Amino acid sequence: MIARLLALILKELLAIVGDNRSRTIIMVPPFAQTLVFGFAATYDLSDVPYAVFNEDRGPVARELLAGFSGSSTFRLEAVIDQERQITTMIDSRRVLMVIRIPPDFSSDVLSGGTGKAQIIVDGRNSNTALLAQSYAESIVTAFDEQWLADHGGRAPPSAIVTRSWFNPNLRTQWFFVPGIIGLLSLVVTTMVTALSVAREREMGTFDQLLVTPLRPFEILIGKIVPGMLIGFFEATIVVLLAIFLFRVPFRGDLLTLYVGTGCFLLSAIGVGLAISSISVTMQQGLLGAFMFLVPAVILSGFTTPIANMPVLVQRLTLINPLRYFVVVLRGVFLEGANLPMLADQLWPMLLIGAVSLTIAALLLRRRMY
């Protein structure tokens, strides 16, 4: 029976990677996509184009503006001298932000009062706007404190000292790159498994499989193992890129990472096979794969936090295996989490895997006899 099973696994694996074109489609995209997405997926701002509308010309304004031009977050795009140019600059998206210094700014500050600098921010992307605003705010606060210290003013009676755990510079790349491991292995394993039964049905080879002495659960194992192998292969590629190319700190251990990956792959393959055994044609299989993949990716906490969702949608994400795996990946990479700390993320994935594989087995059996 073992030999029979091994032969079946080999046959299934060859069906996926034996053909040159489909091997390329499985091997190349994870490399390319990790490279592109790893650099693209970040909320950190750099080179934000801004314009200056300085009506003051005094020394204080010049000093304040030097703080902006010296920052790597901002890039001076234009200096304007008319109010209506603000609209043109922002509307056309030439700049994200305009700093406006009113005429009496320097004299206000020099006479011991408070100078009011204005920024106008393009809010079409509100997250970028919020970030640009808070970067600008920190430059102005630093300038304010320095000015008060140099000119004997009274500093505010308290100050906030922020410390950040696990990621002191709040680099969001460290947050996204581990997530990409889950994203890409989910896409590949679902695609490989969701179409596998339907493809055999359409080609007629499923009937041949049925007349062999293989039992339904053996056929299922024959489909699970190759998916696992391909999934582990993909995940390993992305993990290596994450550590050695993107330099995301790896603070946990490989055992936890691979146990987590195993649980996740089991659940992803389970869902894929359940889709596959329900669908009669490949088109249905593909539709099913899309209908699972797209929400699974968007509602996984990969880009937008689950905590921001309404309660009903949050409950819905409980059946999404990627949701748990993203936490496992970030935990292992950044927090150095071990297996006991991640147990509450692992068992739901196993449960999803068990339930979906049972569905797949039952459907396969019913269709067989």
Partner 1 sequence: MSAAPTSTPDRFASARRLRGFIRKEFIQVFRDPSSIGIAFVLPVVLLLLFGYGVSLDAQDIRLAVVVDQPSHDAQSFIGEFERSHYFIVLPMADQRQAEHALRARQADAILRLQDDFAARMQPGPAPAPIQLVVNGVDGNTARQVDAYVHGVWRRWLVQRAADSGDPLGMAVVLEPRVWFNSELRSRNFLIPGLVAVIMTLIGAMLTSMVIAREWERGTMEALLSTPVRTWEILAGKLIPYFVLGMGGLTLSLAMSVWLFQVPLRGSLVVMFVTSALFLITALGMGLLISSIARNQFMAGHIAIITTFLPAFILSGFIFDIHSMPDVVQAVTYIIAARYYVSILQSVFLAGDVWVVIWPNAIALVLMSFVFLALVRRSMRKGLG
Exactly one of 1, 3, 20, 21 binds partner 1 (CB under 8 A); that residue is 21
The yes or no reply on residue 298 touching partner 1 (CB under 8 A) is: yes
Q: What's the closest the beta carbon of residue 14 comes to partner 1, in angstroms?
A: 15
| Encoded tokens for 194 | 């969701």
Which of 48, 197, 271, 352 binds partner 1 (CB under 8 A)? It is: 48
134 binds partner 1, rule: CB under 8 A: yes
Chosen residue from 14, 18, 23, 44 binding partner 1 by CB under 8 A: 44
- What is the footprint of partner 1 within residues 331-360 (CB under 8 A)? 334-335
User: Where does residue 281 fall: left (phi above 0), alpha (psi -120 to 50 degrees), or beta otherwise?
Assistant: beta
Site string for partner 1, 249-288 (x = CB under 8 A): ---------------------------------xxxxxx-
Cα gap 305→281, rounded to integer Å? 36
Burial of residue 318 (number of CB atoms within 10 Å: 0-12, 13-18, 19+): exposed
Q: Does 326 bind partner 1 (CB under 8 A)?
A: no
Q: Contact letters (x/-) for partner 1, 201-240, by CB under 8 A?
A: ----------------------------------------
Q: Which of 13, 42, 236, 253 binds partner 1 (CB under 8 A)?
A: 42
| Distance in Å, CB of 335 to partner 1, minimum | 7
CB of 2 to partner 1, least distance (A): 30
Place of tokens 């994203």: 183
> Rule CB under 8 A: is residue 368 a binding residue for partner 1?
no
Q: Considering beta carbons, is residue 313 or 354 the nearer one to partner 1?
A: 313
In the bound complex, what is the minimum distance in angstroms from residue 159's beta carbon to partner 1?
Answer: 4
From the CB of 330, what's the least distance to partner 1, in Å?
5
Asked if 266 contacts 353 with a C-beta cutoff of 8 angstroms, the reply is yes
Sheet holding 97-101, edge to edge: 74-80, 48-54, 97-101
Comparing CB distances to partner 1, the nearer of 148 and 362 is: 148
Contacts of 136 (CB under 8 A, 6+ apart): 68, 74, 97, 99, 119
Whose Cβ is closer to partner 1: residue 99's or residue 216's? 99
CA distances from 67 to 63, 130, 221, 251 (A): 7, 19, 63, 36
Rounded Cα–Cα distance for residues 189 and 181 (Å): 12
**Is position 136 an interface residue for partner 1 (rule: CB under 8 A)?**
yes
Nearest Cα to Cα of residue 180 among 314, 54, 40: 40
If one asks whether residue 103 binds partner 1 (CB under 8 A), the answer comes out as no
Q: Name the one range near partner 1 by CB under 8 A: 1-9, 228-236, 267-275, 297-305.
A: 297-305
Residue 297 as a binder of partner 1 (CB under 8 A): the answer is yes
Largest separation between any pair of C-alpha atoms in the chain: 95
Based on its alpha-carbon atoms, the radius of gyration of the chain, rounded to whole angstroms, reads: 28
Contact 135, 74 (CB under 8 A): yes
Let me know if 126 is exposed, middle or buried by CB neighbors in 10 A (0-12, 13-18, 19+).
Answer: exposed
Cα–Cα distance between 188 and 182 in angstroms, integer? Answer: 10
- Amino acid at residue number 300: S
Cβ 181 to partner 1, closest distance in Å? 14
Q: Enumerate residues 62-81 that contact partner 1 by CB under 8 A.
A: 64
The conformational region for residue 250 under phi > 0 = left, psi -120 to 50 = alpha, else beta, is beta
Q: How far is the CB of 264 from partner 1 (least distance, A)?
A: 18
Residues in binding contact with partner 1, number by CB under 8 A: 109
Residues 146-205 that bind partner 1 (CB under 8 A): 147-148, 151, 153-168, 170-172, 174-175, 183, 187, 191, 195, 199
We find the least distance from the C-beta atom of residue 16 to partner 1, in angstroms, to be 10
CA distance 329 to 252: 10
